[in-house]
Amino acid sequence: MMRQYLEIKSEYPDAILFFRLGDFYEMFMEDAVTASRILDITLTARNKGADEEIPLCGIPFHSSQPYIAKLVENGHKVAICEQVEDPKTVKGLVKRDVVQVVTPGLVVDSDNLQPKENNYLLSLVAEEDGTYGISLLDISTGEFRVTQVADIETVRSEIASLDPTEVVLAEEEGDRGWLKPLADLMETKVVNTVPGWSLDADYAEEQLLDTFNCAGLDAFGCKGMKAAVRAAGAALHYLKEARKGSVPHLKPLVTYH
């Protein structure tokens, strides 16, 4: 079972893994230490007192939402790993898999959202020609918007006024100099990344057209806006990865200026 846990955890190294065991979600090792501190729950151990002692803690699966919300509020990703086979019909180890990843910008539980405030996931892309793409996604309302601007001060103004919960960047853009004017804003946000290939313009366009069953980017008003298309594609890719390919209801993408 621990081998199975470690294999799954290796796929989600930056998330706290909720590993389903019967009526509980269990957390192990560093995840358990972190979660027990934030959630104020008891930290115990397997093989207690032995050299291979493994820290663990757990919560009831049927009342997990407040615990997930608290971890997310503290800036953590939570990967939900379920039993995907009926234990009653399986001999030996039950197959498990992550069915959802919850991040600060992808919270949908209404009990943990402010009713009059958006919960924006913002993706940000910089082009070599000095243009920037900004995409906003709020899965609690289905809102999905994108814009393209020509200077970093406008980017800064948008981030400050929109106050996103989470910002998504390309992995290789995290150390680029163009982010320096945004450093103080980024310090207050949860920042996560997507693979650089997911921002490929053709891939982003394909994702958008397939998701909304459209023939061309004219439908969204962003044809010819490469930075905007890439930013929207990054947000959509991030959402699909977190939801294991399942996309909640989104309103058609809207381009704003």
Q: Which residues contact 140 (CB under 8 A, 6 or more apart)?
A: 107, 108, 110, 113, 118, 119
How far apart are the C-alpha atoms of 202 and 54, rounded to whole Å? 46
How far apart are the C-alpha atoms of 112 and 73, rounded to whole Å? 9
Confidence bin at 110 (pLDDT 50/70/90): very low
How much is the pLDDT for 178?
85
How much is the pLDDT for 113?
42
User: How far lies 74's CA from each of 34, 42, 144, 184, in Å?
Assistant: 11, 19, 25, 19
How much is the pLDDT for 173?
55
**Tokens read off for 122:** 């913002």
Residues 95-106 have pLDDT tens digits of 999 999 999 888
How much is the pLDDT for 115?
45
Average pLDDT, the chain: 88
How much is the pLDDT for 117?
66
Residues 214-235 have pLDDT tens digits of 999 999 999 999 999 999 999 9
pLDDT at 9 over 80: yes
Other Cβ atoms within 10 Å of 148 Cβ, number:
24
pLDDT at 201 over 60: yes
Other Cβ atoms within 10 Å of 141 Cβ, number:
15
pLDDT at 164 over 90: yes
Angle (nearest 5°) at CA 188 between 186 and 189: 65
Residues 29-47 have pLDDT tens digits of 999 999 999 999 999 987 7
How far apart are the C-alpha atoms of 98 and 177, rounded to whole Å? 35
For residue 167, which amino acid is it?
A: V
Residue 153 in 3-state DSSP?
A: helix
| Top mean-pLDDT range of 89-93, 156-160, 184-188 | 156-160
Report, as an integer, the average pLDDT of 248-256: 89
How much is the pLDDT for 174?
47
Confidence bin at 177 (pLDDT 50/70/90): confident
Largest CA distance in the chain: 65
pLDDT at 197 over 80: yes
Give me the residue label for tokens 């982010």: 179
**Which residue(s) pair with 136 in the sheet?**
122, 145
How far apart are the C-alpha atoms of 57 and 28, rounded to whole Å? 7
Strands 254-255 and 24-28: unpaired
The residue ranking higher by pLDDT, 256 or 110, is 256
pLDDT at 187 over 90: no
DSSP 168-218: EEEGGGTT-GGGGGGHHHHTTSEEEEE-GGGG-HHHHHHHHHHHHT-SSGG
How much is the pLDDT for 20?
94
Judge whether 72 and 15 are in contact, CB under 8 Å: no
pLDDT at 111 over 60: no
Report, as an integer, the average pLDDT of 174-191: 82
Q: How many helices (H) and strands (E) does the chain have?
A: 7, 12
